[in-house]
Chain A
Amino acid sequence: MEKAPLPNRPKHRPVRHPRWRRYLPNPWVAGTVAIATLIALPVITVTSFIFVPAGEVWDHLVATVLQDYIVNSLILMVGVAAGTLIIGVSTAWLTTMCSFPGRRIFEWALLLPMAFPAYIIAYTYTGLLDFAGPVQTALREWFAWSYGDYWFPELRSIGGAIVMLSLVLYPYVYLLSRAAFLEQSSHAMDASRMLGCGPWRSFLLISLPSARPAIIAGLSLALMETLADYGTVQYFGVSNFTTGIFRTWFGLGDAAAAAQLSALLMTFVFALIVIERWSRSRARYHMTGQRSTPLPTYRLRIGKTCLAWLACGLPLTLGFLLPGGLLVSWSMATAAYVVDDRFWQLVFNSVTLAGSAALFALLLALYMAYSKRLTGGMGTNSAVRLAAMGYAIPGTVIAVGVMLPFGWFDNTIDAWARETFGVSTGLLLSGTLFAVMFAYMVRFLAVSLQTVEAGLGKIRPSMDETARSLGHRPLEVLGRIHLPLMRGSVLTAILLVFVDVMKELPATLILRPFNFNTLAVRAYELATDERLMDASSAAVAIVAAGILPVILLSRSITRSRSALQGRTAITETARMAAQPA
């Protein structure tokens, strides 16, 4: 029989293609890779010290303190993990699944401790609870005790550090598990209850397992912050990796050994990143589920309401109200001579710096995330990964990592200019606000980037393609389609970086130009000088600047109950955290 016709082939004419076009780099890819490399430069600089042999000092570390560093870091991580999980998950479940008076307030108020830099809460509690502090002194006076007659928990210990860090870091877990609970389909809960499971069993058997990826993601964020914390552990005399790196670099003067410690620390961080990514990919899987119908809320009776109040009220009080109240009362007592023109200059500096950093980070993040979306190849993907590395690395390490290449750059340009033109260019970058800003980008671009990426990810690619097939260039599509659709994520990205920079200390301290101070620098200088009361006004200003974004974010999360909307923004919200001193 006759063969059916095959596709009609037009006569193939040889066409001359200018093949060289193939090798031209795509401007989006090239730009993204360039930015990412630049942003990763400090981390690369520091890690490159690994290749410098560090014989004697390293041996000394291994023989004496390394074990302490590892054990203490592990204890700290396990402790903070336990603390943040217990507080975060239980409060998230109570505020999502149960109905009791005051729940609406707790919903957002439980986030407030996030606005506290960890070192400030540590200083505050030490002032309150130390042996010589008002609490113990009062106890001794009332009961006529003296030292040794009674037991009082020692705040400045690894246990104290765990409590302090848990109090300010639990909101990460709270945010993410709450988002996960909100997302859960009520059908599953209904089914579980139809099958005879009570609220408690339903929680254990249904809610908890399906929220697990989100919980782990929140936890890993909290733990990264724990690893990067310097202020708290240093003040509490807990020697771990972070303090060890400083001590080795500065006390022993051995950059190579310090870098090797950093590398070891990074393996911890890397493990966390792997866990987080693993749980996120799972989370994405969960997101494909159906939109959930309104959640069942268990109406609590009086007795249980009291318990719920206790469970939600305790972390809120200890993590925010009490230390916040103390700071405010101290600052009232000292404001008269602390708050002057110089103080307002500090506020202006901090806000300007944080605001510009937030906007700048947003621009970079938009460019990189959009380029990843447009090209989606290996190049942009790994570039975006690379640029996000700085987040989990202690600020001081980053500051030194910024300083070294900038100094080299400045001096090289200067030497060249002198040689060629006989003119000295001096320091172009070192000691400028540009260097400070650059360090912020290294540290916080990840926050902005991931928020923006998440926002973009929620917009279906067919939107882009439709818009482009209708004759719009990529940047027009970004402006007319993407930006309006991801307004929430953009706002989140700005707010998160803003708050982070407000709290940032080590990089600002080391890199800032002459005669330039910020609230964080001021609070830190006074606090380390043990002038806590004088430091309180600056601390209050930092916390106050952080509260507003936290509340705004929380509200937007509750409103976007269609989990898909809020979810990833929330993940990134959780990145707001206390900076190490």
Chain B
Amino acid sequence: MDAEYIKVTLMPLLQVNVVEIRYKNTVVTSDLSFHVNEGEIVSLLGPSGCGKTSILRAIAGFEPVREGEIFLADQLMSYPGYVVPPEQRRLGMVFQDYSLFPHMTIQKNICFGLRGLSNRAQIRVTDEMLTMVGLPGYNKRYPHELSGGQQQRVALARALAVKPRLLLMDEPFSSLDVELRARLSFEVREILKEQKITAILVTHNQLEAFAMCDMVGVMNHGRILQWDTPFNLYHEPADRFVATFIGQGVFLQGTVLTPDSVDTEAGVIQGDAPLEWPAGTSVDVLVRPDDVVPDEHGPLHGKIVNKVFKGEDVMYTLQLPNGASVMSVFPSHEQYDIGAMINVRIAADHVVAFAR
């Protein structure tokens, strides 16, 4: 391949530059850019159809780009009309459906990407990999003899066996049950960090993204809306969509009162930083359930209209006298019935607001 090598100084491991991807002439994503640094685990998070998988496939080399380019380290991988084939990119990929080759043993699967290995070397690599993913001794099994979680561990081992420059994971845990999903995402993070693997996770599940990743890009309609740490995404969403997609909460209508406070349907909310709008601007203020805390003497008096028991805590929806509603999380032992009236207060230390 006569790919053009472009020297770029202080390069991140992966650069996606103003990329446009189309599928059958429908633009899936355009003007999309981000980069991933060596050793980082990042996630592309978004609802289905937001284009996150297309990006991943473009990075892997399965999807051509119509505009822009993709660099891996200092190598140009994709630009319009040209794609370095996936098999020459040295990336690892893990899919939702595990994609183990059913006609091969676990050992054969793991060594699939390693050419010209002697049988002994194969056994050594397989043992090492299986130990790493916590499945020692499974060499001779066939994929169908393993549970879903075990299969996904093998898939990970297979992808890591080739020492990929970058690991791509496409909804890797979606086929697993909730408990296993949480455990495995934690374990995988441990493994990746230990092996110093750079990885991109594509998922629609924020818990998974938050559990595994250093940075998360929230996507919708083919664009990255915010690229940030999980904490900031939750507490300082930069966009109305991010605010609703990440976590729960309601918007209260309000008017900017002073540079750092807003007068809302639920009273004045005081923030710790100045807002960007002049006083008198109409805004919507995001109120998370954990911002609304029970307080016998709280200024807000609401009627419980809905209640969802979640084990350790309970999520109540309260209707305020002026018709606005807020959500609130109470510890599980504080039990109220639907229709009961309770007092709460808003305990936000910063204000997240969007101009109306």
Contacts and interface: CB of A to CB of B under 8 A. Distances in A.
A529 interface: no
Interface residues of B, number: 65
B34 A470 contact: no
Interface in A1-57: 1-10, 12-13, 15-24
Contacts of A469: 60, 86-87, 89, 91-93, 159, 164, 168
Given A22-B80, A471-B87, A4 B101 contact: no
B34 A7 contact: yes
Nearest to B351: A1
A1 B99 contact: no
Contact of A462 (B81, B91, B97, B228): B97
B79 interface: yes
Contacts of B97: 460, 462
A471 B76 contact: no
A481 interface: yes
A160 B238 CA distance: 78
Interface string B128-170: 0000000000000000000000000001001100101000101
Contact of B238 (A4, A15, A468, A484): A4
Contacts of B17: 9-10, 12
Given A470-B162, A471-B113, A15 B99 contact: no
Interface residues of A, number: 38
B80 A19 contact: yes
Contacts of A465: 57, 60, 62, 86, 93, 95, 99
Contacts of A463: 99, 101
A19 B67 CA distance: 11
B112 A17 contact: no
B90 A471 contact: yes
A362 B61 CA distance: 29
A18 B82 contact: yes
A470 B115 CA distance: 10
B274 A1 contact: yes
Interface in A327-361: none
A484 B103 contact: yes
Contact of B80 (A2, A7, A17): A17
Nearest to B71: A10
A470 B15 contact: no
A98 interface: no
A472 interface: yes
Contacts of A284: none
Interface string A440-469: 000000000000000000001011011111
B12 interface: yes
Contacts of A20: 81
A223 B186 CA distance: 59
Interface in B263-314: 271, 273-276
Contacts of A15: 4, 6, 69, 76, 79
Contact of B228 (A5, A21, A24, A472): A5
B316 to A, nearest CB: 28
A7 B227 contact: yes
A282 interface: no
B345 interface: no
Nearest to A485: B103
Contacts, number: 135
A385 interface: no
Contacts of A21: 81-82
Given A465-B86, A470-B112, A470-B158, A12 B18 contact: yes
Nearest to B25: A378
B202 interface: no
Given A1-B273, A5-B227, A13 B8 contact: yes
B225 to A, nearest CB: 9
Given A9-B33, A17-B80, A462 B99 contact: yes
A19 B228 CA distance: 35
A19 B87 CA distance: 23
Residue from B18, B81, B159, B170 with most neighbouring chain A CB atoms (10 Å): B81
Interface of A is mostly: loop
Contacts of B115: 471
A480 B87 CA distance: 14
Counting chain B CB atoms within 10 Å of each CB, the highest count among A7, A9, A470 belongs to A470
Nearest to A23: B81
Contacts of B112: 467, 470, 472, 480
Contact of B12 (A10, A462, A467): A10
Nearest to B228: A4
Contacts of B93: 465-466, 469
Contacts of B47: none
Nearest to A17: B79
A473 interface: yes
A17 B274 CA distance: 46
A2 B217 CA distance: 18
Contacts of B12: 10
Nearest to A1: B273
B350 interface: yes
Interface string B87-109: 11111110111010111000000
Contacts of B102: 485
Contacts of A7: 33-34, 217, 224, 227
Contacts of B33: 7, 9-10
B85 A468 contact: yes
A466 B91 CA distance: 10
A19 B81 contact: yes
Interface string A91-127: 0000000000000000000000000000000000000
Contact of A4 (B8, B34, B237): B237
What 4 pairs between A and B have smallest CB-CB spacing? Answer: A22-B81, A470-B113, A4-B238, A7-B227
29 contacts: A1-B271, A1-B274, A1-B350, A1-B353, A3-B276, A5-B228, A6-B238, A7-B217, A9-B17, A9-B33, A15-B4, A19-B81, A22-B81, A24-B81, A462-B99, A463-B99, A463-B101, A465-B60, A465-B93, A465-B99, A466-B93, A466-B95, A466-B99, A466-B101, A469-B89, A470-B113, A471-B113, A471-B115, A485-B103
Given A1-B271, A22-B82, A465-B99, 7 more contacts: A3-B276, A4-B232, A10-B17, A17-B82, A18-B81, A469-B60, A485-B103
Interface of B: 4, 6, 8, 12, 15, 17-18, 33-35, 57, 60-62, 69, 76, 79-82, 85-93, 95-97, 99, 101-103, 112-113, 115, 155, 158-159, 162, 164, 168, 170, 217, 224, 226-228, 232-233, 236-238, 271, 273-276, 350-353
Interface of A: 1-10, 12-13, 15-24, 460, 462-463, 465-473, 480-481, 484-485
